[in-house]
Structure 1
Amino acid sequence: MIMGTGSDVGKSLIAAGLCRAFANRGLTVRPFKPQNMSNNAAVTADGGEIGRAQALQARACRTAPTTAMNPVLLKPEQETGAQVIVRGTRHGSLPAREYFATRQKLMPEVLGAFGELTREADLVIIEGAGSAAEVNLRDGDLANFGFARAANVPVMLLGDIHRGGVIASIVGTFAIIAPEDADLIVGSMINKFHGDPALFADGLRLIADRTGRPCFGPIPHFPDAGRLPAEDALALDTRRAGGDGTLHIAVPRLARIANFDDLDPLAAEPDVRLTIVQPGEPLPRDADLVILPGSKATLADLAFVRSQGWDIDIAAHHRAGGHVLGICGGYQMLGQIIADPDGVEGPAGGRARGLGLLNVDTELGPHKRLTLENTAEAGSGLELTGYRMHMGETTGPDTARPFSTGEEGDEGARAPDGRVAGTYLHGLFAGDGFRAGYLERLGAAAGGFDYESGVEAALDGLAAHLDRHLDLDMILALAREPGSMGAQ
């Protein structure tokens, strides 16, 4: 199990690299994360949803993602509450205090899912969540040592040298956690190193001496990490723009943005300049296309759009001849009315006026649609693959001009002028043919590269990177049969 000294130290990336490295050695490998908190999710082969990082790690293992790989997923809807997903299915929304008071009841589900994976795999790579040293949250913990002790698995502690203070963060973790938790740690790793690794040799020795465990690395910064889907929305806080192409795409950074990896293939296009517009900034006036992305809380993010003045910017962009695309929650925002009669996102009977660029209305409901879909863009016939992950139904005159059409019927809507469209399909830009055709209609010289092959190449490159800088044989030797370590 890989735990971190803090959030965003690279646990997801290192776990994915180890999954691919050991899969390349011929082992049957599976990823696992007991509890995840993320609004970036993926639909699984067994009809549920899990964190995007575990879907990528499953891909690194060369296997289809399943709900067992992330049995508890928390999707924040507000500052103090989240939607709770158990084995891929929504179990309702809870305030944080209530969830923390009752989460231990989910441990049987977590251990059951872990047991399924251990029975089918030679090796399971487990990812912790946040910081392993959050001792104030230790009681009832599912994500880190609470799970590790229940399943009796060895732990590798990962620190991020790029932040500074990595020696203190690793040694300090040992100092403040319970001794019986510390007994599960079999080693540590240093991530995101820049410069000459030989200069950190004394640091490795100091950590090993202070902790009594081997310290592996340092692992130099992996430059192709940006080619892999990110899970944490923190990555968007510092991402200003991608590419320097002639077609400018602007994306408002919603407060509760979801499934933002929809944007990754666009950022990789050489002739596209993708700008993530941060709160407090206006939408760029030279944008050719504005994309309203997915949202975990459509009504709250619609209010956020208005608070930033982005509704005015989007209307001006459209009047000036610009194009607008809404994806999932962004699609719902583009309509006339969003109604929440059952209180899915807040008080029952909630209702808000949309941005009015599509003649459609949305009624939110408790049923969540989770489907993998193969369809085609209406009009062009370009093949589309993606997934739907939404609550609510959208109807109205503009749905007579659907975004896509297929065996399961029409989906999405277009305005009469053809410059505003909405779709429930996530992942639509990963398909090279559709992406090229869509961007070419907007004036970009698109295409010429295989996005999915690029992801595969990045995973193989990451595995080779870890193989060069870590002793994978020794790390593999530290793995144990679950339950064989004797921890209670």
Structure 2
Amino acid sequence: MDTPRRAAAYTLMIQGTTSDAGKSTLVAGLCRWLARRGVRVVPFKPQNMALNSAVTADGGEIGRAQAVQAQAALLAPHTDMNPVLLKPSSDTGAQVIVHGRVLADMEACDYHAYKTRALAAVLESHARLAAAYGLVLVEGAGSPAEINLRDRDIANMGFAEVVDCPVWLIADIDRGGVFAHLVGTLELLSPSERARVKGFVINRFRGDPGLLTPGLDWLEARTGIPVLGVLPYLHGLHLAAEDAIAAEPCAKPGAQLRVAVPVLPRISNHTDLDALRLHPQVELRWVGPGEAIPPADLIVLPGSKNVRADLAHLRAQGWEAAIRRHLRYGGRLVGLCGGFQMLGRALHDPLGLEGPAGSSPGLGLFDLDTTLAPGKCLALRHGRLAFADAAVEGYEIHMGVSRGPALAQPALWLDGGGAEGARSDDGQILGTYLHGLFDTAAARDALLAWAGLAAPAATPDLRSRCEADLDRLAAAIDAHLAPAALAGLLDRGRAGA
């Protein structure tokens, strides 16, 4: 007797009228809503451009938003969830990562030509997910109305056309012009693309819903497409950012420790600072171009996708002198990944992996040199702080090998006995390749005490906080999206399971 074939997974794509319209958030919320109801749902983003990334269970690299969406779906992150990741290293070039591994560094025109081959990798990953799960929730990138990128598109309607999937279009009303965004996007789509749009979602609404009703009625009459829901502005919602640093007030009543973070042009994995940003006793200040580093107890040099260029920017801003002055007066300094590399004597890029080949002097605060090489270190790590009995866990994503006497006094001891990072003899400076250094409660408390916080208050574990926010987001979706639309997803997901 023949074994019945499992129904093919249903695929739905979420596209946005703009970047940061809420695509990542809607996919995460839908993943959580469906997973809590027993649907085997999986997130998928064909092509992502982001400098915040995550290490997967299969040892690859994907966009951080897809790792959060995997958590929402109660899954471990996997490289098939984001088969193509672009990590910009300049205004015109990026490192191209395919199926979790570095393929090459390409200029924009070269990558555009490569897209036909990239599409094959995208479809391969989608096919594997569609065979293993009941429902594939796809996140687009930017806007489908970027007509200059329509040729060879693999991130929005180009993908939707190839796999023949429906699209929901989301727009952010908090930006203003939401009706123009939605109608204008439709006007710039081809007839076949326009026919794929099965519903609108309006995001980040605050105010009296009754005042919006005339506009929604007009929109549906004008386009013939239903408004599936109006999601409220969820104050205090915290999900790890895909790329951009959220603008927010830095002042915090009751804060007892001041942290300053220079924002580098190619800053990467700034989510490393989320645990400090959310701490009730810590006032974290992002320091942008043209701003002076303010008085602080702790300065953190974050990761960078182009360390030599970002170090030159740091010097041009006058921040090197500010860092040295900070140390003279007893302040603490942490270098994370690329920020750690900046602390050494020199940075060498003999193959021109992140820009023109050559070397740059480092800040000279650690007796070590770093040389960039083609291989990228991708690893999940567990260990303990070298100066405190505190567990730490995180991940490494970096190119380059650091060598020198400074490593004899490590920042961490990794499980298995390996030394990692460096500490200065005077105890003021710590450098490490570990992303997520502050995420573990015990390590965060020990590091804050080292930085000068006398009695660190307990803060929620970041994963627990994310879990609570994902559940809150799913509850908002349950309350504000059309019941018929959600029921349809539920039925299709269960049919494909």
> Normalising to structure 1: TM-score of the pair?
0.95
Partner of residue 486, structure 1: none
1:24 and 2:36 matched:
yes
1:298 and 2:307 matched:
yes
1:152 and 2:167 matched:
no
Q: How does 1:327-346 map to 2 (within 5 A)?
A: 327-346=336-355
**In structure 2, C-alpha distance between the alignment counterparts of 1:56 and 1:300, rounded to whole Å:** 30
114, 122, 125: which one aligns with 2:126: 114
Please give the per-residue CA displacement for 1:241-294, whole angstroms capped at 9, x wherever unaligned.
Answer: 264411000000111000000000111111111101111101002x00000000
Write the letter of the residue equivalent to 1:468.
A
Match of 1:129, SS?
coil
CA RMSD of aligned residues (A): 1.5
1:481 is displaced (CA, Å) by 7.6
Please give the per-residue CA displacement for 1:379-429, whole angstroms capped at 9, x wherever unaligned.
Answer: 313111000000011111110000111216111011111101100000121
264, 268, 290: which one aligns with 2:278: 268
Partner of residue 239, structure 2: 228
Unmatched 5+ residue regions in structure 1? 483-488
Match of 1:217, SS?
strand
**In structure 2, C-alpha distance between the alignment counterparts of 1:45 and 1:154, rounded to whole Å:** 30
1:453 and 2:461 matched:
no
Partner of residue 57, structure 2: 45
**In structure 1, C-alpha distance between the alignment counterparts of 2:383 and 2:130, rounded to whole Å:** 36
Q: How does 1:58-457 map to 2 (within 5 A)?
A: 58-225=70-237, 227-233=238-244, 235-236=245-246, 238-241=247-250, 243-244=252-253, 245-285=255-295, 287-348=296-357, 350-406=358-414, 407=416, 409-444=418-453, 445-451=455-461, 452-457=463-468
Please give the per-residue CA displacement for 1:117-169, whole angstroms capped at 9, x wherever unaligned.
Answer: 11221211110000111111101001000101111111000011111111111
**In structure 2, C-alpha distance between the alignment counterparts of 1:158 and 1:421, rounded to whole Å:** 43
**In structure 2, C-alpha distance between the alignment counterparts of 1:129 and 1:480, rounded to whole Å:** 27
**In structure 1, C-alpha distance between the alignment counterparts of 2:350 and 2:243, rounded to whole Å:** 31
**In structure 2, C-alpha distance between the alignment counterparts of 1:358 and 1:472, rounded to whole Å:** 59
Write the letter of the residue equivalent to 2:239.
L
1:101 is displaced (CA, Å) by 2.0
Structure 1 segments (4+ residues) deviating >3 Å: 478-482
1:240 is displaced (CA, Å) by 4.8
1:476 is displaced (CA, Å) by 5.0
1:479 is displaced (CA, Å) by 8.6
Aligned residues: 477
Partner of residue 22, structure 2: 10
Partner of residue 9, structure 2: none
CA contact (8 A) 2:305 2:354 kept: no
CA contact (8 A) 2:306 2:355 kept: no
1:85 is displaced (CA, Å) by 0.3
**In structure 1, C-alpha distance between the alignment counterparts of 2:62 and 2:216, rounded to whole Å:** 35
CA contact (8 A) 1:326 1:421 kept: yes
1:346 is displaced (CA, Å) by 1.8
**In structure 2, C-alpha distance between the alignment counterparts of 1:181 and 1:480, rounded to whole Å:** 25
Write the letter of the residue equivalent to 1:169.
H
**In structure 1, C-alpha distance between the alignment counterparts of 2:69 and 2:251, rounded to whole Å:** 24
1:102 is displaced (CA, Å) by 2.0
1:341 is displaced (CA, Å) by 1.2
Write the letter of the residue equivalent to 1:268.
L
Write the letter of the residue equivalent to 1:187.
G
| Identity rate, percent | 48
1:447 is displaced (CA, Å) by 3.7
1:180 is displaced (CA, Å) by 0.9
Unmatched 5+ residue regions in structure 2? 1-12
> Normalising to structure 2: TM-score of the pair?
0.93
Match of 1:181, SS?
helix
Match of 1:398, SS?
helix
**In structure 2, C-alpha distance between the alignment counterparts of 1:243 and 1:30, rounded to whole Å:** 38
Partner of residue 485, structure 1: none
Match of 1:266, SS?
helix
Write the letter of the residue equivalent to 2:144.
A
Match of 1:366, SS?
strand
Evaluate the alpha carbon distance shift between residue 198 and residue 252 of structure 1 in structure 2; reply closer, same or farther with a 3 A threshold: same
**In structure 2, C-alpha distance between the alignment counterparts of 1:342 and 1:422, rounded to whole Å:** 25
**In structure 2, C-alpha distance between the alignment counterparts of 1:336 and 1:478, rounded to whole Å:** 56
1:362 is displaced (CA, Å) by 0.5
Please give the per-residue CA displacement for 1:444-484, whole angstroms capped at 9, x wherever unaligned.
Answer: 232413222111111101110111111254145269989xx
Partner of residue 462, structure 1: 473
1:220 is displaced (CA, Å) by 1.0
Write the letter of the residue equivalent to 2:345.
Q
**In structure 2, C-alpha distance between the alignment counterparts of 1:447 and 1:471, rounded to whole Å:** 42
Write the letter of the residue equivalent to 1:277.
V
